[in-house]
Amino acid sequence: MLSGFMVNAWTVATIVAVVAGAVGFFVVLRGSAFVADALPTGAFAGAAGASLIGVNTLVEPSEPPPIPIHKVDPAVEARQIERLTTVRRQRDQGLVDRLLDRVEQEARDPAQNLMPVTIELVKARASLGEITGRLRHVFGTYIERPVF
C-alpha cells in the first residue's frame, strides 16, 4: 500500500503535470522558442492522466503478433537453381577450384588480405556458397550463446 505522503505527492505531481501540459499547449500554439521544452511537458501530462485512469502502457499483449515467414515461390527457386547450374557449366571449373584452394590457404594466415582472391573468385563466377563454404573450413561457424 502507498503511504499518505506518497498519495499526496502523486496527487500534487499530477495537478502540476496537468497545469504544465496546458501551459505547454499554449506555448506550442504561440510558436514560442520553448517548443522543444514544451512538448515533453505536454507528453508527461498525458502520461500522468493515463496512469490516473488506470491505463498501463507497460502491459504486454496477451499473444504476440505472428511473425510473417517469407516463403520462396517454387518457380523462383527452380529458376535460380537453373541459373546457377548454367553458370557452373559455363565457367572455368579448374580456375575456380584453384582459387578456392588459394582462398582457404590464405585464410589460414592472419596477415593475408582475402579481398584480392575473393574478387578473383567472383570474376571467375564462383558462387557465394562455394566461397563461404571454404572459409567455413578455416573459421568455423559462429554460434551465439545468449547470456541472460
Sorted by where each begins, the domain ranges of the chain are 4-52, 88-148
Q: Are 18 and 50 a contacting pair, CB within 8 Å? A: no
Task: Over range 76-105, report the average pLDDT.
Answer: 95
Phi, psi for 7 (deg, rounded to 5) = -65, -45
Angstrom distance (rounded) from CA 145 to CA 19: 50
pTM: 0.52
Q: Tell me the per-residue pLDDT of 110-144, one tens digit each, with 9 for 90 and over.
A: 999 999 999 999 999 999 999 999 999 999 999 88
21-39: average pLDDT: 63
Q: Which of 11-15, 18-22, 81-85, 118-122 has the lowest mean pLDDT?
A: 18-22
In eight-state DSSP terms, residue 77 is H
Which pLDDT belongs to residue 80? 94
pLDDT confidence of residue 59: 67
Q: Residue 42 corresponds to which cell in the numbers above?
A: 505536454
Residues recorded for the chain:
148
pLDDT tens figures, 36-84:
565 566 666 666 666 666 666 666 667 777 888 889 999 999 999 999 9
pLDDT at 22: 75
Find, among 46, 50, 45, 43, the residue nearest to 17 by Cα. 45
